[in-house]
Each structure stands twice: as structure tokens, then as C-alpha cells.
Amino acid sequence: MKLNKYFDHTNLKANATFCDIEKLCKEALQYDFYSVCVNPSRIEIAKNFLDNSDVKIATVIGFPLGALTTESKIFEARDAIAKGTDEIDMVVNIGKIKDRDFDYIEKEISSIKNAIGEHLLKVIIETALLDEKEIIEMTNIVIESGADYIKTSTGFSTRGASLRDIEIMKGIAQNKIGIKASGGISTLELTKKLIKEGATRIGASKSVLIMKENQLDK
């Protein structure tokens, strides 16, 4: 797969303006990225810019803390689908992981997946806040829940994706689900290493810089 097709070109900043989202979408069209990832209130703007293109739209729910109720997340997900998103990136309840309430987490993920049907669901587990045992447990839960992807990070915690995160996830997931690396990915070198380790999607706000670096590298 070509490098550009790994990217969810992302702008989830609180202060992102209409012009910022327009720029994001134009860049996604120029580089033919897989998708853009925007906050829910920007879905319809992105849809207007990307209509009749192959670039998909992703949005986030329960973002960035994951501590909303399941019912709130389901509402967010359904509302996002109604507004035109193709993919949902949800944040799990990190506190429930720490409580080892894995039944709650699996039911929440399954409920959201059921609510969005055939639309793709990525589950953000915020690896920065987990130990390796918890990453292993969560990878198994995401597989069992019926979600499509496990995702490392929101980009709003203490760190983003690491090679070790992806190594652990890939060891469990194999090819059962996709793996999205996100958070702090700003260089071609790291991007290639994450893909080699097993990432099948890359979430980045620096996608254009990485692609320019890739062009210079040829």
C-alpha cells in the first residue's frame, strides 16, 4: 500500500477554525490521504469539501478522556453517522480499565459498534496510561468486542504511539483487527518503523510534512 493511504490526516485542536478544516481537506485531496479526522462539529464542513472524492471522514467520540457514559457515547456515534462520518474513533473508559471492569468496557465497545452498524469503529485505549499487561488485555477485549481497529492514543495525553505499543498489539491481534498508531508522529522515520512493526493506519496532523520528507527521500 502507498504511504499516503495509511494516513488519517487529523486536526482535533479545540481552536481549529473553518479555514483550518478547509486546509486539512484540501491537503487530503492533494495527497490522496485515506481520510481526514475532525471533531464532530466539523463533520458537515469536511463532507462539503470532500464530497465526490475517495477521502473518507472520521470523527471522535468520548474524546479525549473517555469518561462519558456509554449512553452518551452511543448518542455521539449515531449523531456523527447521521451527519456523514464514515468512521468512528472512540475513547474507552480508562478508569474502568484501572478498575479491571473489563465486562463494562467490552459491552460499551460492542454497544457502539452495534449502534453504527457497518461503519468502521476504532477503539482508542490511550496506551500512555496503561502498562503492558493492560495493553495486552485491551487488545484481546477490542478483538472480542467486534470493533475494527485498536488505536494507541488521543494525542492529548502524556505521550503518543510507541513502537513497543504496536509490537504488543500486533503480537496479540495478528491480522484479526487493524492497528492505528497516533499521537506524536511527525517524521518519516517513525512512520515507517510503526508500519513495519504492524500499524495499518497512521493518525497524524503532520501528514503533509511526512509526505514531503518521503518525496525528498526518493
- Which one from 56, 113, 180, 206 is the annotated catalytic residue? 180
* 54 catalytically annotated: no
- Which one from 56, 73, 122, 151 is the annotated catalytic residue? 151
Nearest to 159 by CA among 183, 179, 123: 183
Instruction: Give the span between the Cα atoms of 194 and 172, in whole angstroms.
Output: 16
User: Contact 39/59 with Cβ under 8 angstroms?
Assistant: yes
- How many Å from the N-terminal Cα to the C-terminal Cα in the chain? 16
Backbone phi, then psi, for 116, in 5-degree steps? Answer: -105, -5
Instruction: Give the span between the Cα atoms of 207 and 160, in whole angstroms.
Output: 15
User: Contact 72/47 with Cβ under 8 angstroms?
Assistant: no
- Which one from 89, 113, 165, 206 is the annotated catalytic residue? 89
* 131 catalytically annotated: no
* 122 catalytically annotated: no
User: Contact 50/36 with Cβ under 8 angstroms?
Assistant: yes
The residues assigned a catalytic role are 89, 151, 180
